[in-house]
Each structure stands twice: as structure tokens, then as C-alpha cells.
């Protein structure tokens, strides 16, 4: 189980990983209701390097993006669940609408997003300008937090 990092701690740790020659992979998202699609994406991302950083949207960021009824799970609980996953080496939060600024500070070797975001990947320019790779991974069919929430709300 990896640790939770503040932004400053993560930037410092990234510098150490770089000196150690580790390949750092970065992905991000709300991860509001953790489901098998999330787990498989994280496992695929982790397979691309030595260290996987998961940046979670803060509660305020999720509310701005998804509406006042979200997140379903608080940021501290989402971070704890993510840290319990074998694929995740480090977790941090970001409060902005996108993680572009955080990605620019961390400059991972590989930036990964689900294929549903292939039209816009925050931080792409910064990572590619630094010589890193930006990849999308296919989503697990049938899994979507929004769809799960809708099903729960509309159950008789």
C-alpha cells in the first residue's frame, strides 16, 4: 500500500524516483464509486512503469464537475480505498478542474487516461514536451460510476 502525498511531497518524491531511474506513470479521476473498470484501468496503467500515481479530484472539484449530489464517497475515503489497491503506489488530491498544473509539476514519464478522454487529456502538452508518453487505455465495458449511481437512484 502506497502513501498519500501532498502536492509538495509528491513533487519531491517524484524527483527522488527520477534519480533512482524509476518510470513514473500518472493517471487521475474522481473514482467516486470504485468499480472493476477502475481497478482494471489502474492495473493497466501500473503495468506501464515502476510507480503509479493516482491523482483524485477533491470533493469540491467533483461537485463542480458532476453536480451537488456528488461525490458519493468523500475524498479521504476515496484516497484510502485507492491506496488499498496493489496497483497504486501513490495518491494525491487536486482541487482544480483539471490536473494540468499538477501534471506540469510532477512531469510523469507516462500519462494515462481512459479512452473516453482521448479527445482531451489535461497535461498532454507538458508531458510530451518533456519527452514523456501519453496513452489511452480501453474502458471495461459496462462500468460507469454515473450509470451505477443512476441505477441505484432509479431502483424500485
Reading the block at residue 68, the C-alpha cell is 451537488
Cis peptide bond prior to 71, omega within 30° of 0: yes
> What is the pLDDT, as a whole number, of residue 101?
97
Nearest to 59 by CA among 93, 27, 35, 88: 93
> What is the pLDDT, as a whole number, of residue 36?
86
| Contact status, residue 24 vs residue 49, Cβ threshold 8 Å | yes
Q: How far is CA 126 from CA 33, 40, 81, 111, 150, in A?
A: 29, 26, 29, 10, 36
> What is the pLDDT, as a whole number, of residue 52?
98
**pLDDT tens by residue, the chain, 156 residues:** 679 999 999 999 999 999 999 999 999 999 988 888 889 999 999 999 999 999 999 999 999 998 898 898 999 999 999 999 999 999 999 999 999 999 999 999 999 998 777 788 999 999 999 999 999 988 766 666 666 666 667 777
| Contact status, residue 78 vs residue 91, Cβ threshold 8 Å | no
Is-above-0.85 flag for pTM? Answer: yes
Calpha distance 137→117 (Å, rounded): 10
Nearest to 32 by CA among 156, 153, 147: 147
Domain 7-154: state its class: alpha beta
The full set of domain ranges for the chain reads 7-154
> What is the pLDDT, as a whole number, of residue 100?
97
Amino acid at each position: 500500500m502506497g502513501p498519500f502525498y501532498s502536492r509538495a511531497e509528491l513533487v519531491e518524491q517524484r524527483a527522488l524516483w527520477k534519480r533512482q531511474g524509476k518510470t513514473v506513470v500518472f493517471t487521475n479521476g474522481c473514482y467516486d464509486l470504485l468499480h472493476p473498470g477502475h481497478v482494471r484501468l489502474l492495473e493497466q496503467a501500473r503495468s506501464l512503469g515502476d510507480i503509479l500515481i493516482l491523482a483524485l479530484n477533491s470533493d469540491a472539484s467533483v461537485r463542480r464537475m458532476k453536480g451537488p449530489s456528488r461525490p458519493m464517497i468523500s475524498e479521504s475515503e476515496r484516497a484510502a480505498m485507492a491506496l488499498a489497491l496493489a496497483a497504486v503506489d501513490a495518491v494525491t488530491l487536486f482541487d482544480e478542474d483539471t490536473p494540468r498544473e499538477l501534471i506540469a509539476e510532477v512531469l510523469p514519464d507516462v500519462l494515462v487516461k481512459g479512452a473516453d478522454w482521448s479527445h482531451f487529456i489535461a497535461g498532454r502538452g507538458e508531458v510530451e514536451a518533456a519527452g514523456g508518453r501519453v496513452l489511452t487505455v480501453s474502458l471495461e465495458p459496462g462500468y460507469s460510476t454515473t450509470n451505477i449511481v443512476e441505477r441505484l437512484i432509479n431502483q424500485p
